[in-house]
Structure 1
Amino acid sequence: MPRPWATAHPSGLYLITPDEPDTARLLQRVRAVLGFATWLQYRNKHADPALRHAQASALLAPCRAAGVPLIVNDDWRLAQAIGADGAHLGEDDGDLRAARHALGETAILGASCYDDPARAQIAVDAGASYVAFGAFFPTRSKSGTRRARPELLREAARLRRPRVAIGGITPDNAGTLIAAGADLVAVISGVFDAADPVAAARAYRACFQISSPPSLPPG
């Protein structure tokens, strides 16, 4: 039976894990804010394959308990191996069609589309569940990141897929992106590097109670 999030239209905070080498501390940090997240993405750019497997596996139980889908960054094979709810692929992370075939129709499969609407269309045609655009603002998470315009979110409504905004998003600037059509805002340091991560996560979630994105066109 498909999980509820396989068909529901998501909205809210798309929380992405920090590059935390200590698995116990990662779990502690995630558990504190997981209740405010719509989705959680496991991402650790500095971990070796063994640590990535151990950390992603360890996140499954708290995500299941909270009813929050776990999505694995960069590696659909790891997502498949641990039974995660989906994967997110950048332009160098493998073929979306192969990932969709391997993970199944109900998996959440995301694609980084940066500032490129043509790439977003290709991703949807290949089976992407959602498309992610950004960076919209300066960000410390990636160097040399391509910059996207809020108007791109409006234009992407025609794709009839959830739109994720990423890159330097704060509770103060998120409203502009939500008003432009972002269904979720993806955040790492805005929560995990905040002086009070719980208050920060709560503030991001509150942005969706203030701003309502336009509805997707019927499809």
Structure 2
Amino acid sequence: MNSSWPRRGLYAITPDEADTARLLARTASVLDAGAAWLQYRNKPADAALRRDQALALLPLCRAHGVPLIVNDDWRLAAQIGADGAHLGEDDGELAAARAALGSGAILGASCYDDIALARAAAAGGASYVAFGAFFPSPTKPNARRAAPELLAQAAPLGLPRVAIGGITPDNARSLVRAGADLVAVISGVFDAPDPAAAVRAYLSCFEDPAHE
């Protein structure tokens, strides 16, 4: 993982947005407000739209000094020169993604509620491990639930730990205190009345995690 990328903060994940111009406008405000990383995710989109949107997001991320990580599809990440990819358990082998993307790419792995998956991901070349859902999530209402203790258990891996799933500014601080380096959010930012203010609220949770 490129050592110049931040290892703590808000990991913003794009919503399912069919209008590329609107996606760019919505994302720009989130990046302006200080999101550390951006993951491009659009589950309903076809391959052509995903490629177009990811390509459109790339210069926006470059302008903000924020890495662009492509959800699920390391091949698309490689094709467009994105900074990395995030893989779930059904999205292919980490080793193949690492070989294609190179040693400097950010390669994330969903580890759900399972520390064994995190250990395997670390051994397979992951740059970070992601656990969740920690709270009920509107994006994945039936997602497996993870315990905050997993974040501490993953500390010996020496990789950034990402928390995801139903995270709000009100509950994020407890996860940061438990060991989360980044909190990954979709609806909590993009569906907020003021996304930029929401970003700042999440970032405040990293300022003094020792206190609620």
Question: What is aligned with 2:3?
Answer: 7
Unaligned runs of 5+ in 2: none
Instruction: Give the Cα–Cα distance (whole angstroms) in 1 for the partners of residues 137 and 70 of structure 2.
Output: 21
Give matches, 1:136-151, under 5 Å.
136-151=134-149
The answer to whether the aligner puts 1:66 opposite 2:27 as a matched pair is no
Instruction: Give the Cα–Cα distance (whole angstroms) in 1 for the partners of residues 142 and 185 of structure 2.
Output: 18
Instruction: Give the Cα–Cα distance (whole angstroms) in 1 for the partners of residues 180 and 8 of structure 2.
Output: 8
Question: What is aligned with 1:194?
Answer: 192
Kindly state the Cα deviation for residue 143 of structure 1 after the two structures are TM-superposed.
Answer: 3.3
Letter in 2 for 1:19: D
Kindly state the Cα deviation for residue 210 of structure 1 after the two structures are TM-superposed.
Answer: 2.1
Report the secondary structure of 2:18's partner residue.
coil
TM-score normalized by the length of structure 2: 0.96
| Residue among 13, 18, 21 paired with 1:16 | 13
Report the secondary structure of 1:31's partner residue.
helix
Question: What is aligned with 1:178?
Answer: 176
Report the secondary structure of 2:205's partner residue.
helix
Question: What is aligned with 2:24?
Answer: 27
Question: What is aligned with 1:132?
Answer: 130
Instruction: Give the Cα–Cα distance (whole angstroms) in 2 for the partners of residues 206 and 143 of structure 1.
Output: 26
Deviations 1:118-146 (A, max 9, x none): 01000000000000000000001113200
Letter in 1 for 2:207: Q
Instruction: Give the Cα–Cα distance (whole angstroms) in 2 for the partners of residues 210 and 56 of structure 1.
Output: 34
Instruction: Give the Cα–Cα distance (whole angstroms) in 1 for the partners of residues 195 and 24 of structure 2.
Output: 14
Instruction: Give the Cα–Cα distance (whole angstroms) in 1 for the partners of residues 134 and 207 of structure 2.
Output: 21
Instruction: Give the Cα–Cα distance (whole angstroms) in 2 for the partners of residues 200 and 187 of structure 1.
Output: 10
Letter in 2 for 1:172: D
Instruction: Give the Cα–Cα distance (whole angstroms) in 2 for the partners of residues 29 and 210 of structure 1.
Output: 28
TM-score normalized by the length of structure 1: 0.93
Segments of 4+ moved more than 4 angstroms: none
Kindly state the Cα deviation for residue 206 of structure 1 after the two structures are TM-superposed.
Answer: 1.2
Question: What is aligned with 1:217?
Answer: none
Give matches, 1:7-156, under 5 Å.
7-8=3-4, 10-35=7-32, 36-156=34-154
Unaligned runs of 5+ in 1: 213-219
Kindly state the Cα deviation for residue 24 of structure 1 after the two structures are TM-superposed.
Answer: 0.3
Question: What is aligned with 1:159?
Answer: 157
Instruction: Give the Cα–Cα distance (whole angstroms) in 2 for the partners of residues 140 and 31 of structure 1.
Output: 23
The CA RMSD measured in Å over matched residues stands at 1.0
Letter in 2 for 1:6: N
Report the secondary structure of 1:131's partner residue.
strand
